[in-house]
């Protein structure tokens, strides 16, 4: 589902964004998207990430973006629009468009506030950054790539694309570090396993080879947004956060995996530690995610993951007595 979102849905949303997406303060009213619409795009993307991941409805959106390694939609559109203008900045067509704007008779203030002028300023900065990146990796700058030569268009676009990915990762990493610093490690929110890691693609590897049920439980465990008393009390859905098994600690992921002394968890935990070869929770979840997910599904007692509950997305409607029985299926007979 994540792959479908990245490869199919995002290109449809971003189609032609270089012409219609101008998310910049100070531009003239015509030709730029309003800020509340930009926020609405990010809000809709957050709702979609909940469906993709199977997370709880109110799970922090930045946690979901970190686990799925997906950038905010507004950032992606902004960078994509800038990258397009940077890749064609020195072409004859782009130069002609700049001359047309200059000859339009606009005053200096209105010319500077024009959305395409703002994009050109950002595109020039991005082009310079791409040149520096090329010099850092190759030891020199290929002049033909940056003078608008169509023969170098593919190389120019590739270098700019890699630079934009660096920028997106830098922005996402800065926002993630700020989010991490806002959560005290001793608080329940600060103990989330996902908060112990930097921004990056590493979290995607944890969900490989897991089915839908396992990957959803693993994400619940890593984010801390899970149907256990410790989290439900923070949502005012439970009166107590004490473990119902031992009443000797908070009913949270770490307690059930490591600390709970109840007999019902002793044997499964012993088997888990033996198969994982460690008692460290973070190592178990990251190195043996399937074992961790199966342990949580079997022993946490969350109704959503109950073995008696259907995990299918579509629930079949039960047949009423007034409805006729379906016709019997034809039996296939073997030829003599």
In a domain, residue 336? The reply is no
Number of domains in the chain: 2
**pLDDT category of residue 275 using cuts at 50, 70 and 90:** very high
Secondary structure string (H, E, C) spanning 80-115 = HHHHHHHHCCCCHHHHHHHHHHHHCCCCHHHHHHCH
In a domain, residue 187? The reply is no
* pLDDT tens-digit map of 150-195: 777 788 888 889 999 999 999 999 999 999 988 876 666 667 899 9
In a domain, residue 332? The reply is no
Chain mean pLDDT for the chain: 83
93 pLDDT above the threshold of 90: no
Q: What's the length of the chain?
A: 336
Same-domain check for residues 178 and 222: no
- Residues 266-271: what's their mean pLDDT? 92
Same-domain check for residues 83 and 221: no
Q: Which of 232-241, 261-270, 325-334 has the lowest mean pLDDT?
A: 325-334
Q: Which domain holds residue 134?
A: 2-182
**What are residue 300's phi and psi, to 5 degrees?**
-80, -20
**pLDDT category of residue 308 using cuts at 50, 70 and 90:** low
H or E element that contains 176: helix 153-181
- Residues 137-144: what's their mean pLDDT? 79
pTM: 0.80
In a domain, residue 316? The reply is no
Q: Which of 40-44, 111-115, 122-126, 247-251 has the lowest mean pLDDT?
A: 111-115
Task: Compare 24 and 271 and report the one with higher pLDDT.
Answer: 271
Same-domain check for residues 28 and 163: yes
Give whole-number Cα distances, 119 to 8, 35, 97, 160, 210, in Å. Answer: 26, 17, 13, 15, 43
In a domain, residue 321? The reply is no
Same-domain check for residues 169 and 253: no
272 pLDDT above the threshold of 80: yes
The answer to whether residues 219 and 54 touch, using CB atoms and an 8 Å cutoff, is yes
Give whole-number Cα distances, 325 to 314, 315, 317, in Å. Answer: 21, 19, 14
Percent of the chain with pLDDT over 90: 41
The answer to whether residues 188 and 57 touch, using CB atoms and an 8 Å cutoff, is no
Same-domain check for residues 80 and 108: yes
pLDDT at 146: 77
């Amino acid at each position: 589902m994540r792959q479908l979102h990245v490869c199919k849905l995002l290109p449809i949303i971003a189609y032609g964004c270089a012409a219609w997406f101008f998310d910049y303060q100070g531009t003239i009213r015509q030709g730029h998207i309003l800020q509340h619409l930009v926020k609405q795009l990010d809000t809709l993307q957050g709702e979609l990430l909940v469906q993709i991941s199977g997370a709880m409805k109110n799970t922090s959106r930045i946690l979901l973006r970190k686990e799925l390694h997906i950038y905010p939609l507004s950032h992606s559109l902004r960078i994509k629009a800038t990258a397009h203008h940077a890749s064609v900045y020195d072409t004859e067509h782009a130069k002609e468009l700049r001359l047309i704007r200059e000859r339009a008779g606009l005053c200096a203030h209105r010319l500077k506030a024009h959305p395409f002028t703002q994009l050109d300023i950002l595109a020039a900065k991005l082009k310079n950054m791409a040149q520096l990146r090329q010099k850092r990796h190759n030891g020199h700058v290929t002049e033909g790539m940056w003078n608008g030569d169509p023969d170098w268009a593919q190389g120019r676009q590739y270098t700019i694309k890699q630079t934009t990915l660096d920028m997106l990762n830098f922005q996402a990493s800065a926002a993630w570090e700020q989010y991490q610093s806002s959560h005290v490690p001793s608080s329940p929110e600060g103990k989330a396993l996902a908060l112990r890691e930097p921004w990056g693609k590493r979290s995607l590897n944890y969900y490989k080879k897991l089915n839908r049920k396992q990957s959803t439980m693993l994400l619940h465990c890593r984010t801390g947004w899970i149907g256990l008393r410790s989290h439900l009390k923070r949502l005012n859905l439970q009166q107590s956060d004490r473990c119902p098994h031992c009443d000797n600690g908070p009913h949270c992921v770490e307690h059930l995996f490591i600390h709970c002394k109840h007999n019902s968890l002793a044997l499964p935990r012993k088997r888990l530690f033996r198969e994982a070869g460690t008692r460290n929770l973070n190592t178990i979840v990251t190195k043996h995610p399937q074992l961790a997910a199966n342990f949580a599904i079997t022993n946490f007692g969350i109704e959503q993951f109950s073995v008696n509950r259907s995990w299918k997305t579509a629930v079949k409607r039960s047949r009423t007595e007034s409805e006729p029985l379906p016709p019997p299926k034809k039996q296939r007979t073997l030829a003599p």
